[in-house]
Structure 1
Amino acid sequence: MESQGKPDIRQQVEASRGALKKLQLLIPGLRGYRQKEDIRVSDELLRNQVADRLDRAKANLNLLRKQMVSNNDLTNLGGLASLISQVQALSGEIRHAAQGYSGFVAPIQVTEDALNRLYDSDVTFVSTVFQFESSTAPSALTYNPTAPSSIQPAVSQLTAQVRDIREKWATRIEGMEDILLKK
């Protein structure tokens, strides 16, 4: 998942393997453990990066909220406050999602095809979050105090984007569960 000059998370995880981790890959009984642990680590990296993007989007929305308050626009605050709350909740849900345990004797195998489907799905998920963050940037989301209701369509569109992100997150969770197959 190469985006904006950043290396694929899988490559970051592989590059961070020390001698012990590389040895674990050579020992048959530990190979599966190491591979599952690497999946868990790359999942955590991805989730933290996505949550960071959502936190930046929330900060952008808070700037808009401050503009509304300074212009005594209390009419639009309810919808914006709800959106900010949804973004904050989604960020926390993604950042703190339960991680699988990759025990030494866990009877689980990860198929490469299933893992690649998950990574392809992640590209769509992450792209949607990046687009949402861009949509909340001050340059993209302008508030006109002389026409305060003009912000309502943008807030509605952003709310729809959050729903879409939440749906993609749910699909991702299902995908994570699907890559774990009982032997």
Structure 2
Amino acid sequence: MPKELTPIEQLQLLIPGYRGYKAKDLIRQDDFLVRRAVADRLEQTIRIISEKESYTASIDPFSPQLKVMEFLLSKIREIINEIMSGQGGGADIYARWKITTEELDQIVNHDMQMINIASQIVELAKANRISEIDPLLSDLRNLYYERMKLFFPPELRK
């Protein structure tokens, strides 16, 4: 990977913590905002399903639907943890790699898809269409991982 360093890259190597002013920090901030928005929608889904679970348990404490809801809640919590604990915007990986306009466009498209899927999940929970949520959670997880790869140089995407 021998290439000539740009002035920003040189400063980053010389000055600990130097980030090249705001540009890269804004990518990290935007990434966090998108992940937080998706997590908020999933947390709203948890609240909706939990209310339905409580109601179902009060009427029929042995309902098989309770196990389905509990499994789904667990899966949603797991996805929230994955999304919120991931490195923000590629963290320091992209400090020496420039994200191209095309890659930013792909990231934005993934952002929109993630928000749309998370919103669909909320609507399905409200409509009590719990059985339709699980495939969307898988789609959301896959999309999230595809999106995160875009923050890394092509040679590191696997």
The two structures have a TM-score, normalised by structure 2, of 0.77
Would the aligned equivalents of 1:65 and 1:77 in 2 still touch at CA under 8 Å? yes
In 1, distance between residues paired with 2:26 and 2:155?
14
Corresponding position: 1:132 with 2:107: no
Corresponding position: 1:107 with 2:96: yes
**Alignment of structure 1 residues 1-183 onto 2, 5 Å:** 29=8, 32-74=20-62, 75-99=64-88, 100-102=90-92, 106-137=95-126, 140-141=127-128, 154-178=129-153
Identical counterparts, % of pairs: 24
* Runs of 4+ with deviation above 6 angstroms: none
SS of corresponding position for 1:110 = coil
- 5+ residue gaps, structure 2, are 1-6, 9-17
Rate the CA distance shift 1:160–1:109 in 2: closer, same or farther, 3 A: same
RMSD: 2.5
Deviation at 1:47, TM superposition (A): 0.7
The two structures have a TM-score, normalised by structure 1, of 0.67
- Higher mean displacement: 46-55 or 169-178: 169-178
> How many residues get paired?
139
Rate the CA distance shift 1:131–1:178 in 2: closer, same or farther, 3 A: farther
